[in-house]
A = this chain, B = another copy of it.
Amino acid sequence: MAQTQLSTFFLRIASYNNFPTAAGLASSASGLAALVASLSALYELPQSPSELSRIARQGSGSACRSLFGGFVAWREGTDPSGTDSLAVEVAPQSHWPEMQALICVVSDKKKGTSSTAGMQRTVQTSPLLQERLRIVPGRMDAIEKAIEARDFATFANITMVDSNQFHAVCLDTQPPIFYLNDVSRSVIALVEELNRAAGSPIAAYTFDAGPNAVIYALEENMAVVIKAVQKYFPTEEAFEDRLAAGEKVQAARIPERFNEAVVPSWEKGAVKSLIHTKVGDGPRKLSADKGLLKEDGTPKVLA
């Protein structure tokens, strides 16, 4: 039987995500980026990652960033059509492999505002947003320089003030939008106090359109961050550490100058689970060798 053209096949797409969904943790961005990367690999398309980024952006804004490994910036672009608004790699994974993240999945019973609808309302009603739009480009330049110089303190400060300013303009929206809850506030208090006690920033929090915290720290400081988070926010689920830092966490010591009084303790489960991860290398083709076609040239169909 003659080989059939792959492009004439129907596709069955099976999508799995090992990340919490609808939690403001960009799981839909990762899914859409994976879809675009998979189709591009399947059809052996000639597009560069930047071009794929532009395509992925149409499914979910932040998906444009997920086509790359390393440190990625989403450029605003200047064309009114938006076609030059795409992501670029600022530095590869190998540039600063010590950068790690601890994601605190925060329980929140309340129905939140979707990030797209929320941002549209902010654009329409926040008087402070215009000022923020004047501030952000300078911060982007400064944080890219900090990444280039592997300057964690500067990276941390910009990360935190910019997260807070994003949530400030959400609050300046009419009606106001709240993504942070009392648990989020306590995570902020914990990181601020850790940094104060350490004498310089060893960790940085950031919150997207939801109450979940992402805490960045260099590998050498992540153990103490995990230790502190586990102490103040005991999780229901056992912590399966993907990066196996368990022994280091046991040995870690919270700085002596840490003032326990400023961080409220929470009942078990206020933080549901923790995910310990690090800078990645971007989309990977996992089943390349196994092949997608049967010997007779027809596609394999999953059971």
Chain A positions near chain B (C-beta within 8 angstroms): 109-111, 127-128, 130-132, 135, 157, 160-161, 164-165, 167-169, 171-176, 178, 181-182, 185, 188, 192, 261-262, 264
Contacts and interface: CB of A to CB of B under 8 A. Distances in A.
B182 A172 contact: no
Given A164-B176, A168-B169, A178-B185, 20 more contacts: A110-B264, A111-B262, A127-B135, A127-B165, A128-B169, A130-B131, A157-B174, A160-B174, A161-B172, A164-B172, A164-B173, A164-B174, A165-B171, A165-B172, A167-B171, A168-B168, A171-B171, A181-B182, A181-B185, A182-B182
Contacts of A161: 172, 174
Copies of this protein chain in the complex: 2
22 contacts: A110-B264, A111-B262, A127-B165, A128-B132, A128-B165, A128-B168, A128-B169, A130-B131, A157-B174, A160-B174, A164-B173, A164-B176, A165-B171, A167-B171, A168-B168, A168-B169, A168-B171, A168-B172, A176-B188, A178-B185, A181-B185, A182-B182
A1 to B, nearest CB: 57
A266 to B, nearest CB: 11
Contact of A128 (B109, B128, B173): B128
Contacts of A178: 185, 188
Contact of A131 (B131, B176, B182, B264): B131
Contacts of A167: 171
Q: Which 6 A-B pairs have the closest CB atoms?
A: A131-B131, A168-B168, A168-B172, A168-B171, A175-B192, A164-B176
A260 to B, nearest CB: 12
A197 B175 CA distance: 14
A130 B134 CA distance: 13
Query: In this complex, which of A109, A128, A157, A181 has the most chain B Cβ atoms within 10 angstroms of its Cβ?
Result: A128
Contacts of A111: 261-262
A109 B264 contact: yes
Contacts of A172: 161, 164-165, 168
Contacts of A131: 127-128, 130-131
A164 B126 CA distance: 10
Nearest to A191: B175
Contacts of A109: 264
A259 to B, nearest CB: 11
Nearest to A172: B168
Nearest to A170: B168
A108 to B, nearest CB: 9
A135 B172 CA distance: 12
